Amino acid sequence: MKLLLLTLISLSLTVAIIMSAPSDSTLPATAVADPTTVIAPPEHRRPADQTFLTYPEWFLVYSPDEFATFTKTNTPDQFPFFGHVKQFWQAYRSVYRIIKDQYAFNTGYHVMIMVIGTSTTVEYVLRSCYENTIGRLSAFTAGTFTEEDHYAAKVAQQYVDFIKITPWYEFNFMQALKGLWKENPATGKNMIRKWERRYILSSEYLVKAGYGWIIKKGTNASYEAPLLVTSVVADKLPAIDLNAYPQIKLVDSLADNRVLLLLPRYDAFKDYTSLLAQSGANFSEIAGNTGSIMITLIVPREWKESDTDKVLFSQPILTNPANKRIALVVPVTELAHTLRKVNQSGLTLEHVYDF
């Protein structure tokens, strides 16, 4: 009953956040590729709106990443759980507004976002309530980190490194649970904090192991295994030794010196598109799309957009207020130029959303 009540409160909160978020700046219409001219094989084509819809998924990588970094030097009760809930739903609203009148409604993806958003909202509400009461009290009694605090920070970082390339539900939470009890002494200083951390971490790992198992079963039953590569059409063979980069696959040589390549998907995609861009290559199609693609950068808080920047939204990095995240929408044909400009400016390329 308590969980149901918290869920309803969380959903009400997220609806209020979405409805009250400020309007986005006007952005140009995004083009949809003519299917008769698409070069990517059918199995490598992905819907054009997914460059935007993948952002909420990736925010659930960025948030744990912030948490892992933050809890290396701070206790979890100081983490802005509610702020991250707000950022998730406001970002979803921003990407929805740009796609709702331009693409057919992507039911499966929106349902998935609602599922992960709602479950994360409930999780963060519960964690915030616990950490700001019992967790804060136990931290006060200790005054310093216990072995369990350090272990939790280590697992949090392992989890982030894992989910950058693999779905979260594949993470071995049971192994993390075993390590909690095997790797850390059960006695010693600050016993209240030690055993409070053992209780909450054991509960967290057990719940996530069980929930992850359910999500994995449902995902495997409803969706095909995703391809781990993204097709890219470049205007020329990049001026690099492809033997030194075995993950770049040359699929076909096309007219006008163009080439069809396969690049690693997900987090690595930004590294390989940046590599090709720095080698002088330009892109004309990504995952069968020739319209717009979204990228995010981490920039100083005082950074101002130029007249040519098409900023979809910006968000402060809540655990590092000196920086903010900005989402840029660029044409696929200008992606390489944009990546070269970002590299020259010294800004941090966070992600290229490869549909």
DSSP string, 335-346: HHHHHHHHHHHT
Which residues in 313-335 are b (16+ Cβ under 10 Å) and which e? bbbebbbeeeebbbbbbbbbeeb
Q: What is the pLDDT of residue 169?
A: 95
Rounded mean pLDDT, 159-164: 96
Does the pLDDT of residue 12 top 80, yes or no?
no
Report the half-sphere exposure of 340 (CA within 13 A, side-chain side).
Answer: 13
Rounded mean pLDDT, 183-188: 95
Rounded mean pLDDT, 195-199: 98
Residue with tokens 């000196």, as numbered in its chain: 322
27 within some domain: no
Q: What is the pLDDT of residue 5?
A: 44
| Residue 188 and residue 217 in one domain | yes
| Helix ranges, 48-185 (H) | 50-70, 81-99, 107-130, 136-142, 147-163, 173-182
Does the pLDDT of residue 25 top 50, yes or no?
no
Does the pLDDT of residue 17 top 90, yes or no?
no
Separation CA 48–CA 200 (nearest Å): 41
Tell me, what amino acid is at 165?
A: I
36 within some domain: no
For residues 10 and 122, the answer to whether their CB atoms sit within 8 Å is yes
| Residue 124 and residue 233 in one domain | no
| Residue 94 and residue 240 in one domain | no
Does the pLDDT of residue 4 top 60, yes or no?
no
52 within some domain: yes
| Residue 62 and residue 197 in one domain | yes
Tell me which of 191, 222, 253 is where a domain ends. 222
Percent of the chain whose predicted confidence (pLDDT) is above 90: 82
pTM: 0.88
333 within some domain: yes
280 within some domain: yes
Rounded mean pLDDT, 319-338: 96
| Residue 151 and residue 287 in one domain | no
| Residue 309 and residue 181 in one domain | no
pLDDT for 133-157, tens place per residue? 999 999 999 999 999 999 999 999 9
| Residue 85 and residue 147 in one domain | yes
| Residue 193 and residue 69 in one domain | yes
18 within some domain: no
Percent of the chain whose predicted confidence (pLDDT) is above 70: 90
Tell me which of 170, 191, 222 is where a domain ends. 222
149 lies in which domain range?
48-222
Q: How many C-beta neighbours within 10 Å does residue 113 have?
A: 22
Q: What is the pLDDT of residue 32?
A: 60
Separation CA 323–CA 199 (nearest Å): 35
| Residue 202 and residue 237 in one domain | no
pLDDT band of residue 239 (cuts 50, 70, 90) is: confident
Rounded mean pLDDT, 163-192: 96
For residues 277 and 341, the answer to whether their CB atoms sit within 8 Å is no
pLDDT band of residue 30 (cuts 50, 70, 90) is: low
pLDDT for 249-280, tens place per residue? 999 999 999 999 999 999 999 999 999 999 99
25 within some domain: no
199 within some domain: yes
pLDDT band of residue 8 (cuts 50, 70, 90) is: very low
| Residue 79 and residue 197 in one domain | yes
Rounded mean pLDDT, 24-50: 76
> How many structural domains is the chain composed of?
2
Q: What is the pLDDT of residue 18?
A: 46
Structure tokens at 88: 């998730």
Tell me which of 222, 243, 264 is where a domain ends. 222
Does the pLDDT of residue 322 top 70, yes or no?
yes
Tell me the pLDDT of the chain averaged across its residues.
Answer: 91
pLDDT for 41-61, tens place per residue? 999 999 999 999 999 999 999
| Residue 233 and residue 336 in one domain | yes
| Residue 63 and residue 171 in one domain | yes
Backbone angles phi, psi at 348, to 5 degrees: -95, 120
Q: What is the pLDDT of residue 214?
A: 94
